[in-house]
Structure formats: structure tokens, C-alpha cells
């Protein structure tokens, strides 16, 4: 995909701004009302004043790729990859945003965290908004795989990690990042809420440049057709590389599919 900004030159290009050649976004679901992509790690959903360094955004890229307006139904952090849903009209956008607000969308994430997590767990820990107001927040998780590497760190002769599937029952800002930090199992690559020593280890030893949090699945009732929709996003290259570093194989990885069940 060729993306240019500015005033056209006689050659048809535009001066003063870099020309980016970004591959098309991976579309994992599409119908007349909605489209979902497998958002790359590091890509912002839309323009933001707090990320002035960014020049590419999922909303604009998808709009240009489809040659039509799109409307984000929800948000993902910049460093989080995976299922990102867009509406193709304002009416559907409002309907889907209401479903998210009412916690009627089932969301699953895959996260690689420090240490060995319990087989299953529930994190019921209120989180504060920017205005200081406390909000209830609930996350359920199960451990998919564990790994122990012969890599000393600090006082520990080895390094332990877990792959967890997390299901946030509420949708608070940075909920999973804050919740796993709260139980002392921070997500690898999370600079704000994570472990600096672990992040430095992964950066220096394995050149990790993202956060190991992936939005793996969305399940909801279609706002127009009322069909049951289950959308899954495959893991991306950098995440799969870390899966290999930690010694996990295909048998540990959940399947990836998109299903539509007519009601």
C-alpha cells in the first residue's frame, strides 16, 4: 500500500513527507456491516496527541484499503496486537460500542507473563480512572503453558514464564496490564506496568521490540443480523518468535478461526 501526504508534484508524488510502503492490513472478518483486522503490534488505532511520533494508523490505513469510511467499535493499546473491530456505518458503530460498554462482548487475550501463574485465577481489583474515580474491574484467566529457561536473572538461577489466556469481564483502560502487574506476573514488554529487568533481558538477549499481549478472540451477537459471531486472530511473527524462544509448540497454541452461527 502506498501512502503519501502533502501537495502533489508533477510526477504525482507529494513533497516533504516520507512515502510509506506498508503491506495491506490482514482482514479476518468482513460483512456488509463490519470488518475486523488482525492489528499489528505497534500500530495506533487512530491519531492521538500523546503519540506524535506515529505516522500510520489503523483507521486511516483500513479506510484507504477498503476505499470507504470505517468506524472503530473499540480500542486496543498501541503495542497490543490482534482482533480490532470496525463498523462500516455510524449506526452499527453505536450499536457495537454499546455492546462493549455493557460488557456483552466476550474478549480473550493471550499474554506471556513473568513467573508461574496459577492453573486458573480471578483478579477482582478496582482500577482508578485518570480523574481518580475507582471502577470495578474483573479478569479471569487460565494458564495455557509454562516455561523455565536456563537464564539467571537477579537472585534467581533460572527464569520462569507463563502463557495465559485472559478474559476481561470488564473493559477498563489497561486492565490486563494493571491486573497482571497487581498479582506480580507482569506482561513481558509492558514498559509502563511491567518489570524493567525482564523487559531489559528480552530486549538485549532476544531483541524483543513489542509487548507480548495479543487480542485473540471476540465473540458477540451481530448487531444487525443477530447471528453469533466468533472472530479469532492468529498470532503474529514477533509473538510466534517468542513462543519459539520459550520452547512452546503448536500443541499449546489455541486454534484460530472465524465462525458465524445463524440464530
Q: For this structure, is 250 an active site residue?
A: no
**Nearest of 206, 202, 204, 214 to residue 239 by alpha carbon:** 214
Q: What's the distance, CA 213 to chain centroid?
A: 6
**Cα separation of the two ends of the chain:** 38
Give the strand pairing for 228-232 and 138-149: unpaired
Q: Give the H or E element holding residue 96.
A: helix 90-101
**Of 235, 234, 231, nearest to 217 (Cα)?**
231
How far apart CA 147 and CA 160 sit, in angstroms, is: 6
The residue from 31, 53, 64, 77 that is catalytic is: 77
Helix axes 237-245, 196-206, angle to 10 degrees: 100
d(CA 118, CA 90): 42
DSSP state of 187: B
Residue 178 has φ and ψ, to the nearest 5°, of -70, -40
Give the active site residues: 77
Amino acid at each position: 500500500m502506498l501512502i503519501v501526504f502533502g501537495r502533489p508534484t508533477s510526477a504525482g508524488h507529494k513533497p516533504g513527507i516520507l512515502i510509506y510502503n506498508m503491506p495491506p492490513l490482514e482482514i479476518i472478518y468482513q460483512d456488509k456491516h463490519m470488518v475486523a483486522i488482525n492489528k499489528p503490534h505497534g500500530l495506533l488505532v487512530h491519531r492521538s496527541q500523546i503519540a506524535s511520533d506515529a505516522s500510520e494508523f489503523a483507521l486511516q490505513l483500513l479506510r484507504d484499503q477498503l476505499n470507504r469510511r470505517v468506524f472503530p467499535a473499540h480500542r486496543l493499546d498501541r503495542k497490543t496486537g490482534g482482533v480490532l473491530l470496525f463498523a462500516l456505518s455510524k449506526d452499527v458503530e453505536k450499536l457495537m460500542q454499546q455492546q462493549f460498554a455493557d460488557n456483552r462482548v466476550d474478549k480473550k487475550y493471550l499474554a506471556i507473563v513473568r513467573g508461574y501463574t496459577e492453573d486458573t485465577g480471578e483478579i477482582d481489583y478496582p482500577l482508578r480512572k485518570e480523574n481518580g474515580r475507582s471502577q470495578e474491574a474483573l479478569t479471569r484467566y487460565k494458564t495455557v503453558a509454562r516455561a523455565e529457561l536456563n537464564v539467571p536473572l537477579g537472585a534467581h538461577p533460572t527464569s520462569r514464564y507463563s502463557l495465559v489466556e485472559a478474559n476481561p469481564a470488564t473493559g477498563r483502560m489497561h486492565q490486563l496490564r494493571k491486573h497482571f502487574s497487581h498479582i506480580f506476573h507482569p506482561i513481558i514488554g509492558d514498559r509502563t506496568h511491567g518489570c524493567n529487568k525482564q523487559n531489559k533481558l528480552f530486549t538485549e538477549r532476544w531483541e524483543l521490540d513489542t509487548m507480548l499481549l495479543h487480542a485473540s478472540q471476540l465473540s458477540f451477537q451481530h448487531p444487525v443480523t443477530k447471528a453469533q459471531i466468533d472472530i479469532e486472530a492468529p498470532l503474529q511473527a514477533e509473538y510466534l518468535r517468542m513462543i519459539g524462544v520459550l520452547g512452546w509448540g503448536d500443541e499449546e497454541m489455541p486454534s484460530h478461526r472465524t465462525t458465524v452461527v445463524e440464530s
